Chains A and B, each alone.
Chain A
Amino acid sequence: MIKTVITQQDRPVLSPEKMAEIQGVIQQFPEGKSKSAILRILHIVEREAGGWLSPDTMDMVAEILSIEPIEVYEVATFYTMFNLNPVGKYVLEVCQTGPCMLVGSDQTIEYIEKTLDIKVGETTADGMFTLKTSECLGACGYGPLLKCGIHYHEHLTNDSIDTLLTACRNGEVEKY
């Protein structure tokens, strides 16, 4: 749930380009309906804030949309894509739902746990990877798979997982 102890200002600094992008999102909705832009704005600021939403970041979104902070917390806590705690540089989300399980997602999760020496929900000591599970990602025919950044990595094997992890370490994979 929401972190209650904030030791530093966790609010990202938005560049003028990002502010313009956010204004563009708001303009996709009729006048007076800017609250509709909230999910997309949360996705944008989460990326800018290092992959997670601090209460401070959420307050910033409330200010941008001229709504109460609680309206942002309500939304951010409801939708599972948003991270409410700090995460590693790369978040690996492995689908664990039925169709993926039929083709071996349990083994995929176990392999990543072993390789990175972390459990689901944890972040590696070097802050590089966070491992999460997710429910059906809408790619059931291409499992086992994981989402990293905005892209899916499908038909995973131990070898392809190794390759992906190396590519992440080398900074060759898009973050968040």
Chain B
Amino acid sequence: MGRKLLLEHIDVPGIETFDVWRKHGGYLSVEKALKNMSPDDVVNEVKNSGLRGRGGAGFPTGMKWSFLAKPEGVPRYLLCNADESEPGTFKDRYLMEKLPHLLIEGMIVSSYALGANLSYIYIRGEYMWILEILEKAIAEAYAKGFLGKNILGSGFDLDLRVAPGGGAYICGEETALIESLEGKRGNPRMKPPFPAVKGLWGCPTVVNNVESLATVVPIINMGADEYVKIGTEKSAGTKLISACGNLVRPGVYEIEMGISVEEFIYGDEWCRGIANNKQIKALIPGGSSVPILPAHLITKLATGEDRLMSYESLSEGGFATGSMLGSGGFIVFDEDQSVVRNTWNFARFYAHESCGQCSPCREGTGWMQRVLHRIVNGQGNMRDIDLLADINKKIEGNTICPLGDAAAWPVAAAIRHFREEFEWYVNHPEEALKRNYGMLKNTPTTV
């Protein structure tokens, strides 16, 4: 059995209520931090834990916290990013739905560390029923004196609120999230200034993922020294992986960093292999934005060593033979799936979700989508494949936020590893159509 730090009590009946959560060690980290530690102690503990942001980029959380500007008399804000919209990712939902108090506890400790007296959870609008779960749990925490004025007599005040989005992937990008929380369209901002200096309402702000903030709880409870003993040297601790696609047992799993990819896919404790006794064809290990891996690079590195579930091992080999841990959205393709078609599907997603303020992304994602649509419908030609690579280069690095890169990289990776399949589509237009169940009827070319 792998070690569980976040999901340990997930199956306890009533764990979503304050009393049951408290009985299972809930809110001890708040007591420890507020009574025995200074805010800087908490920041240092998180720094020493090596915690890397669980939202996708993997930026060290403690370091992000230490960049927060602290001008006199200006409020600071902590925002929890619960926008969770990266295809393949559904771990934050699971955590918030089942263990709302874990997130609230993490936010209290983290707000204390940052000196924030008003914090928000920005949750995607489609999760409206989870917003209700969170608000109920927050009301309990207020009633028990863990939120509000002078928490546990420490002199620290904190108000915690939940705000819904309205259906926009881009609002997961931290500056778009801030814009959205200000009641505007979710257009990402130019950086600098970074949110740590000028964020929500022009004040210093930290944005962290749900899982990152939840992980602060075990870190404070056990101490950084103990925490770093779990996982690998460069990937401390545990990680939630949301596994989906053609698996026997898809779902959300907490893994100790460093278990092998093979064990995760085929192990009894985890996904139990590929559904319907099929073979694996490809894997996207960290959400739709990370490069796809072909069968021979999934369980083994290019060097022949085992590939592990960790930041460093999943990215081993760079873009040539590796991928990324990203958000932990683990998407498995069986042998009968079409990578070309899935690449088109994701291109449509990005074209739909581009906020539209940068031309390379707004136009480029649309072009990619249309060219790929042409190919999957048996109307492509060989030049289209190179055209995609060309569009890619023109988007990459030329936009305000990384959505452009996130749209471009998966296409580049799919062509890199599955060029033959793209060529097959071009050379077999009739069969291509047959392989694309219902495509022409169901899918509009425009977005």
| Residues of chain A having any CB pair with chain B under 8 Å | 28-30, 33, 35-40, 42-43, 65, 71, 74-75, 78-82, 96-99, 101-103, 106-107, 109-110, 120, 134-143, 147, 150-151
* Bound-complex Cα distance A39 to B439 (A): 34
B183 touches A140 (CB 8 A): no
* Bound-complex Cα distance A134 to B126 (A): 11
A-B contact pairs, 17 of them (CB 8 A): A28-B161, A33-B182, A39-B125, A65-B183, A78-B185, A80-B167, A82-B166, A97-B349, A98-B349, A102-B245, A103-B246, A137-B126, A138-B85, A138-B124, A139-B90, A140-B90, A140-B250
* Bound-complex Cα distance A79 to B186 (A): 8
Query: Which residues of chain B have C-beta atoms less than 8 A from A139's C-beta?
Result: 90, 93
* Bound-complex Cα distance A39 to B352 (A): 20
* Bound-complex Cα distance A96 to B180 (A): 25
Nearest chain A CB to B201 CB, angstrom units: 6
B163 touches A141 (CB 8 A): no
* Bound-complex Cα distance A140 to B242 (A): 8
Q: Is B20 close to A, CB under 8 A?
A: no
Given contacts A30-B118, A74-B184, A102-B246, 5 further A-B contacts (CB under 8 A): A38-B183, A97-B288, A99-B87, A136-B87, A138-B89
Given A98-B288, A138-B89, A138-B93: A151 in contact with B129 (beta carbons within 8 A): yes
Binds A, one of B7-15, B329-337, B365-373: B329-337
Given A43-B166, A78-B168, A147-B126: A141 in contact with B442 (beta carbons within 8 A): no
Interface size grouping (class) on chain B: 35 or more
* Beta-carbon nearest neighbor of A104 in chain B: B437
Query: Which residues of chain A have C-beta atoms less than 8 A from B183's C-beta?
Result: 35-39, 65, 71, 75
* Bound-complex Cα distance A99 to B337 (A): 11
Given A36-B181, A38-B183, A147-B126: A141 in contact with B342 (beta carbons within 8 A): no
* Beta-carbon nearest neighbor of B352 in chain A: A135
Q: Is B361 close to A, CB under 8 A?
A: no
**8 Å CB interface, B188-203 against A:** 201
Q: Is B68 close to A, CB under 8 A?
A: no
Most chain A Cβ neighbours within 10 Å, of B85, B183, B329: B183
* Bound-complex Cα distance A137 to B87 (A): 8
One digit per residue, 1 when the CB lies within 8 angstroms of any chain A CB and 0 when it does not, for chain B 81-92 equals: 000111111101
Query: Which residues of chain A have C-beta atoms less than 8 A from B124's C-beta?
Result: 138
* Bound-complex Cα distance A42 to B441 (A): 34
A81 touches B184 (CB 8 A): no
Query: Which residues of chain B have C-beta atoms less than 8 A from A136's C-beta?
Result: 85-88, 169, 288, 349
Q: Is B127 close to A, CB under 8 A?
A: yes
A106 touches B442 (CB 8 A): yes
B186 touches A78 (CB 8 A): yes
Q: Is B71 close to A, CB under 8 A?
A: no
A79 touches B331 (CB 8 A): no
Nearest chain B CB to A114 CB, angstrom units: 11
Query: Which residues of chain A have C-beta atoms less than 8 A from B118's C-beta?
Result: 30
Query: Which residues of chain B have C-beta atoms less than 8 A from A109's C-beta?
Result: 442
B87 touches A102 (CB 8 A): no
Query: Which residues of chain A have C-beta atoms less than 8 A from B201's C-beta?
Result: 30, 33
* Bound-complex Cα distance A43 to B334 (A): 39
**8 Å CB interface, B210-253 against A:** 242-246, 250-252
Query: Which residues of chain A have C-beta atoms less than 8 A from B182's C-beta?
Result: 33, 35-36
Q: Is B62 close to A, CB under 8 A?
A: no
Q: Is B353 close to A, CB under 8 A?
A: yes
Q: Is B156 close to A, CB under 8 A?
A: no
A140 touches B161 (CB 8 A): no
* Bound-complex Cα distance A126 to B215 (A): 50
Query: Which residues of chain B have C-beta atoms less than 8 A from A138's C-beta?
Result: 84-85, 89-90, 92-93, 124, 126-127
A110 touches B438 (CB 8 A): yes
Given A40-B164, A135-B169, A140-B88: A101 in contact with B126 (beta carbons within 8 A): no
* Beta-carbon nearest neighbor of A96 in chain B: B345
B345 touches A97 (CB 8 A): yes
A79 touches B244 (CB 8 A): no
